[in-house]
Amino acid sequence: MEIKKYAAIDIGSNAVRLLISNIIIEKGKEPQYKKSALVRVPIRLGADAFVKGKISKDNTKRMINAMNAFKLLIKIHDVEKFKACATSAMREAKNGKKVVQKILKKTGIAIDLIDGKTEAEIIFSTDLSELIESNSSYLYVDVGGGSTEFTIFSNRKAMISKSFKMGTVRLLNNDKATNRLIFEEVEKWIKQHTKDLKKIALIGSGGNINKIFKMSNRPLGKPLSTIYLKAHYQFLKQMTYNQRITELGLNPDRADVIIPATKIYLSAMKWSGAKLIYVPKIGLADGIIKSLYLGKFD
């Protein structure tokens, strides 16, 4: 048996994460990926990028401090390989490339700015195949702070994928008219591409659906129903922001975005006709580590 230790840095619109994983390699078996450590820092880059169009000096400093801290943790854990990827907020910010260059200069950490399609492909490299049944169709929905990626699976294959600027941080900062147009665009796409599919279910990815699943106390692998998600959405909405923090124990940067995130999942279920949503608890960081191991990065 051989054990390797890899790490991934996921720079999202709502938070920045460092995931360190052990990869257990045994002859004749598929490698196992076991989480060793996870650090989440609430640097809301989307509030800069989607409102002001650029990353602020304050958040640039916070990013440099976070990367230096991550670099030390990576060293302490004896990580062999790591990769850092940034999604929509850093990608869309006018000064995004300059910030990436500054971080490289100050910390030595190189950051890849990836698009929605690449992000989806990295996440697909995780163990979704264990969840997907050959006789069913699935709408995979990955909700982030800046965008949401939708992919339709049928007969165990990814049929079509599209990224929309429908992220939670973006929705919080947009006006109602803009959000309505975004929802109408996504509704049209989902209905068009799921109308001929039978027995469809959702696969939910992202920190918010993971939190909702954890709060449900459902056993891992068991889906949430539309009825449950609707009730939970109303339950969350009737609470104040402060109550979600004090009574539910949500992090301050989760307590607001969980509302638009739940709305996105519910809307996708309604438009596709899905009655169940599976939550495999996978994300970009998991995909980065698996892609690193499989040699998919240069």
Q: Give the model's pLDDT for residue 51.
A: 86
CATH 3.30.420.40 assigned to 2-117+285-293 = yes
Of 54, 125, 123, the residue nearest 91 (C-alpha)? 54
DSSP strand pairing (148-154 vs 32-41)? unpaired
**Tokens describing residue 145:** 């702070």
Given the structure tokens 């700015």, which residue do they identify?
113
- C-alpha separations of 153 from 66, 123, 128, 214, 289 in Å: 36, 14, 10, 25, 23
Residue 191 amino acid letter: K
Given the structure tokens 């039978």, which residue do they identify?
198
Q: Give the model's pLDDT for residue 132.
A: 65
Q: Give the model's pLDDT for residue 134.
A: 63
- The model's pTM is 0.85
Alpha-carbon distance 128 to 211, whole Å? 19
Q: Give the model's pLDDT for residue 281.
A: 80
Q: Give the model's pLDDT for residue 20.
A: 97
Alpha-carbon distance 263 to 267, whole Å? 6
Cite the beta strand spans of 129-184 per DSSP E.
137-143, 148-154, 157-164
User: How many separate helices (H) and strands (E) can be counted in the chain?
Assistant: 13, 11
Q: Where in the chain is the domain with CATH 3.30.420.150?
A: 128-281
Question: In this structure, what DSSP letter does residue 155 have?
Answer: T
Of 235, 233, 213, the residue nearest 224 (C-alpha)? 213
Alpha-carbon distance 116 to 267, whole Å? 20
DSSP strand pairing (2-11 vs 200-205)? unpaired
Q: Give the model's pLDDT for residue 19.
A: 97
Q: What is the mean pLDDT for each group of 10 consecutive residues in the chain (298 residues)? A: 95 94 92 93 91 94 98 97 94 95 97 85 69 78 91 80 91 93 97 91 92 93 94 97 96 95 98 94 88 83
* Cβ within 8 Å of residue 13, ≥6 positions away: 44, 45, 46, 49, 50, 87, 88, 89, 144, 145, 146, 147, 167, 168, 169, 170
Q: Where in the chain is the domain with CATH 3.30.420.40?
A: 2-117+285-293
CATH 3.30.420.150 assigned to 128-281 = yes
Helix, strand, coil content of the chain in percent (nearest 5) = 45, 25, 30
- The burial of 262, by beta-carbon neighbours within 10 Å (0-12 exposed, 13-18 middle, 19 or more buried), is given as buried
